Structure 1
């Protein structure tokens, strides 16, 4: 009986590992960068939306009304260093959407609207 339980456990673990590898290959096979893969893999998690709003709120606080695109880009590259354990998710999100985020942050939109516009939040 113990052998049977061990065998079933190994089979289930192998099937799960195989499915994960297939999923990863589908994402990476599309020639996407690792940052895009990270954002895609985590888009369904609640932390991605929160991370986006947090980052946009902090960048909005640090830029002035007359900030140039370069100023905004500099703030975007630095904001993720302050977030803690979600730093990797934040950096991949910023790297993927940097151009769009610079445009969005130039407007008067609030952080929630910006994150909805780039389809990170619902």
Structure 2
């Protein structure tokens, strides 16, 4: 019984930690110069920007500089299996933007730049 309680506690805390990370990253990216938090209105699914950056970061790690488009497509199709409860959001994003993501992953852009170029994330004001 104690093992079950510990297991449930660990699962709940890891899910909360992931949600907190998504929330924190979105809030950092949405601060205006005055320091007030903006409300997102043009992004449909909360956490999609974080999902995009996570996906691009993991695919970039697995492909080499000379990777073909087929190699990149293969990695894109497999990476969503590793994201956990955001798997369906990841797959939807990859399916919708496959062509653009393959082109963007062929460049030397970082994950944030790729997600901004695709239109999934907002460009941060500097």
What TM-score range do you get, normalising by the shorter chain? 0.5 to 0.7
1:63 alignment partner in structure 2: 63
1:87 alignment partner in structure 2: 87
User: Which consecutive unaligned segments of at least 5 residues does structure 1 have?
Assistant: 1-41
2:77 alignment partner in structure 1: 77
Q: Pairwise CA RMSD of aligned residues?
A: 1.3
* Partners of 2:94 and 2:43 in 1: CA distance: 14
Q: Secondary structure at the match of 1:87?
A: helix
Structure 1 runs of 4+ aligned residues shifted over 6 Å read none
The one-character-per-residue Cα deviations of 1:30-73 (angstroms, maximum 9, x if unpaired) are xxxxxxxxxxxx93444000000000000000000010000000
Kindly report which structure 2 residues correspond to 1:36-51, keeping only aligned pairs within 5 A, or say none: 43-51=43-51
Could you say which structure has the higher helix fraction?
Answer: 1
* Partners of 1:93 and 1:101 in 2: CA distance: 10
Instruction: Give the greater-gyration-radius structure (CA).
Output: 1
1:104 alignment partner in structure 2: 104
* Partners of 2:121 and 2:114 in 1: CA distance: 9
TM-score, with length taken from structure 2 = 0.62
1:20 alignment partner in structure 2: none
* Partners of 2:100 and 2:83 in 1: CA distance: 21
* Partners of 2:45 and 2:88 in 1: CA distance: 14
Aligned length: 81
* Partners of 1:43 and 1:95 in 2: CA distance: 17
* Partners of 1:104 and 1:43 in 2: CA distance: 20
